[in-house]
């Protein structure tokens, strides 16, 4: 059975400092993994996805994530936070056509 | 530019009313989904559809039904709204693949049931 755990419900960083949002997953098969971002009162937007190609995945707005099978992790990073990065972030695992399991979300706060 | 639209951004209904939430996608996607989003719970799947007139229950289908008469349109129906259905409802669509397809989301409908 699939599951996904976002290890932090809230993360605060100062503008210009690195961002790390942590995600661990469990899957019986080779999963696809996604990170989505949701700004207030908006729908979800895809940041990046891993589908068994390169383990280091680059996404939009300077975000990237590394798939580590041995650690069952897919952490999201960004070298330098911007105020516009303040949002909620969701890690998602999928190992079947219609099955997407969402984490409970991490709310990122960026301090000036 | 790909787009998923939802009929209302905000909706206020009374207990016992029948509520229709509509979703339209312009990407010719086979799959469409309805999720409910509540704080601390992430997104939970209510129903999905993989073809016209085809539907499958998700994790929390109780109190909801769906309709897909055309490929581009997927409707969520609350037969008799209750206060515990107050939530944010998100529609999504994706291509049919064996897995790993990106989902495209609408902006959401925030439903309040009084």
Answer yes or no: do A41 and B102 touch at CB < 8 A: no
**What does the pLDDT read at residue B99?**
63
Q: What is the pLDDT of residue A30?
A: 78
Closest approach of chain B CAs to the CA of A81, in angstroms? Answer: 24
What does pLDDT average to over chain B?
Answer: 93
Q: What is the pLDDT of residue A95?
A: 78
Enumerate the residues of chain B whose CB falls inside 8 A of the CB of residue A42: 107-108
pLDDT at B1: 67
In chain A the domains, ranked by start, together with CATH numbers, are 3-111 (2.60.40.10)
| Residue among A53, A90, A51, A93 at smallest CA distance from A72 | A93
CA distance linking residue A50 with residue A93, whole number of Å: 10
Taking CB atoms and an 8 Å limit, are B108 and A104 in contact across chains? Answer: no
Distance CA A21, CA A8 (A): 7
On the 0-12 / 13-18 / 19+ scale of CB atoms within 10 A, B60 is middle
Confidence at residue A41, expressed as pLDDT on a 0 to 100 scale: 80
All structural domains of chain B with their residue ranges: 4-8+16-99
CATH number of B4-8+16-99: 2.60.40.10
CB neighbours (10 Å) of residue B23?
A: 26
Q: Which residues of B fall below an 8 Å CB-CB distance to A?
A: 4, 9, 31, 33, 35, 40-45, 48, 50, 56, 90, 92, 96-108, 110
User: For the segment A49-96, what is each residue's pLDDT rounded down to a tens digit?
Assistant: 998 778 899 999 999 999 998 899 999 999 999 999 999 999 999 877
Question: What is the spatial distance between Cα B2 and Cα B32, in angstroms, rounded to a whole number?
Answer: 14
* DSSP three-state, residue A69: coil
Residue A93: partners with Cβ closer than 8 Å, 6 or more residues away: A2, A3, A4, A25, A26, A27, A31, A32, A33, A34, A100, A101
Q: What is the mean pLDDT of residues B47-57?
A: 93
Percentage of chain B lying above the pLDDT 70 cut: 96
Cα B114 from Cα B101, distance rounded (Å): 37
Separation CA B46–CA B110 (nearest Å) = 15
Beta bridge partners of B34: B47, B91
Q: What is the pLDDT of residue B40?
A: 85
Contact A91, A83 (CB under 8 A): no
Length of chain B: 114
Q: What is the pLDDT of residues B56-84, one digit of tens each?
A: 999 999 999 999 999 999 999 999 999 99
**Spatial separation of the C-alpha atoms in residues B94 and A34, rounded to whole Å:** 14
Cα separation, A64 vs A79, in Å, equals 9
Cα–Cα dist A47/A89, whole Å: 9
B56 beta partners = B48
């Amino acid at each position: 059975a699939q599951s996904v755990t976002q290890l932090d419900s809230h993360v605060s960083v100062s503008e210009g400092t690195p961002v790390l949002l942590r995600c661990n997953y469990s899957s019986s098969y080779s999963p696809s993994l996604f990170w989505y971002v949701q700004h207030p009162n908006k729908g979800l937007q895809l940041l990046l996805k891993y589908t068994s190609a390169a383990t280091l995945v680059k996404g939009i707005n300077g975000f990237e994530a590394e798939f580590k099978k041995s650690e069952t992790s897919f952490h999201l990073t960004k070298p330098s936070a911007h105020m516009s990065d303040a949002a909620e972030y969701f890690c998602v695992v999928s190992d079947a056509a219609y099955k997407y399991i969402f984490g409970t979300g991490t709310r990122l706060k960026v301090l000036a | 530019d790909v787009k998923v639209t939802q009929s209302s951004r905000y909706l206020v209904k009374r207990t016992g009313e029948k509520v229709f939430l509509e979703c339209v996608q312009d990407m010719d996607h086979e799959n469409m989904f309805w999720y409910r989003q509540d704080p601390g719970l992430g997104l939970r799947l209510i129903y999905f559809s993989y073809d016209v007139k085809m539907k499958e229950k998700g994790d929390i289908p109780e109190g909801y039904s769906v309709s897909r008469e055309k490929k581009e349109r997927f409707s969520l129906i609350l037969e008799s709204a209750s206060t515990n259905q107050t939530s944010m409802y998100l529609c999504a669509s994706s291509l049919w693949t064996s897995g790993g397809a990106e989902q495209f989301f609408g902006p959401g409908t925030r439903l309040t049931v009084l």
